[in-house]
Chains A and B, each alone.
Chain A
Amino acid sequence: MMENRSFDHMLGSLKAVDSRIDGLTGQESNPDTTGATVKVQPLAQYQGQLDPDPNHDFDAVYQQIYNGGAAPTMQGFIANYYQQRKNVQHSQKIMYYFPQNKVKVLTGLAREYAVFNRWFSSIPGPTLCNRAFAHYGTSFGQVGMDLFYLNTKFKSIYSRLIDAGHTAKLYYYDQVSSSLEVINVLKDQPQIFGTFTQFLNDCNRGQLPQYSFIEPNYSDHDDDSGGAVIANDQHPDHHVMEGERFIAAVYNAIRNNPALWPNTALLITYDEHGGIYDHVPPPACPTDGFVAQPKDTKIGQAFHFDRLGVRVPAILVSPWVPKNTVVQDARNFEHASIPATVTNWLLPGFDDNQRSSREAAAPTFLDLLSLDTMRTDALTLSL
């Protein structure tokens, strides 16, 4: 799971080569603070453009989606970004997207395997509450970063699997990058964690657990030998190409083991949009039984978890996926689809009272592995 990029920002260019993909026509726009209409442009850069980091707290995303109105029009992105630097020209950069040839790994995988038209972040808010949905199927009523996961009502997907005799592991990049989201699990069950180096070794030895979650490197930092380790999470203002290399490394580790490749599906997605423009309004969704109060939403009203967050890239990689698959049905996938899919696969008949109602209702995606015969072709990514 990568960081903070919207679907249109990373994959919107693909509509030009495949009209089934719900990307950009080039006519999508937002008003700037002078009232001028600003269209999307393929001018996104790898680094140095989205500085300061676009606001993606709940109230900021609410403005991006609603722009002060009652309907989700997606017209408030420039107005919101303007508040950070008070520079009209700079605020327009929130509309920029990558041309296909600047993010060849992500667009290449999207074209080669299955790309989801409708995969949304789980909450119109920041990182930690969204990542919680990938691990627990809920954020336990949180819409911000104050998420401490203590005395949680529901078990994480990792604990569920291990308690049932299955194997699961969460690979964080290295000790200095660490694991972002499940601190209580890191404290109580350190045995289910590994580093990215261990992930590569486990792939090489064919010893991946039944379910793995892989975290990128969240920071520029030095290693024990004094070398520089570049962040690869693609969080602005980290270099996007380094994230391309990280995704390629994960893909290659699976692809290059002939015993692993036929039995592994890789889902690549992003936690949330990071304040960057997307043209698809997030849909309404089933509630998850929690309510965030106005003091936390900062929009003067409570949030009932009844609308998803902004759309993000999601790609399913497997030799059992037909080439050039575009998932264009009406299902609204979100991060709760991850524990839902894994639970339905490995723990059939799981008691829905033991997981959130949001997760229980989330669409699953193993039906996309639909080929009767495994593909023998595969994209090659050379690092």
Chain B
Amino acid sequence: MKREPLLHPVALAAIALLIANDHVLKSRWPGFVTGKLSDVAGMIFFPLFAFVVVRAAGRIARRDFAARGALVACAAVTAIAFALVKTWAPARDAFEMALGAARWPIGAVRALLAGEAPRFARAAIVMDASDLIALPFVLVAIAISPFRVRDDRVDDLRPDARRQLVPHLGDEE
């Protein structure tokens, strides 16, 4: 059976927490706690989300790699990128532009439906070094990973790819 890291209850809770905090809690109870909750939630689920993207890319490219190693790499990249965005203005600017670009299609559709011209708007990210207290939570993503063995391979390659990569696998699935 495929192992889906985003379906882990902790990951689901972190995603729910991000949505609730960004759209309800922050505006109702602004303060230190709600200011950090989204960062903590992101540190937990984003490495798993990034891993799913990397795994999908691996499927398309028919590349085999160690699942746990890939997840650890996703966690490390997430932590480094988060630290840069929160402490280094050029990284923050780049991330704001990237996030604005990711939002653009939705905003463009909304604008067109309203009879207006689509416009690009960058996202708003607050630089705050104290947000780095969320960094250790990236370890939660690794801890709840379903990939326990160091040489565990990505396990949802197409059957033909699996045969190609693991010749002795046969047709039992």
Indicate, yes or no, whether A interacts with B.
Answer: no
Instruction: Give B residues with C-beta under 8 Å from A.
Output: none
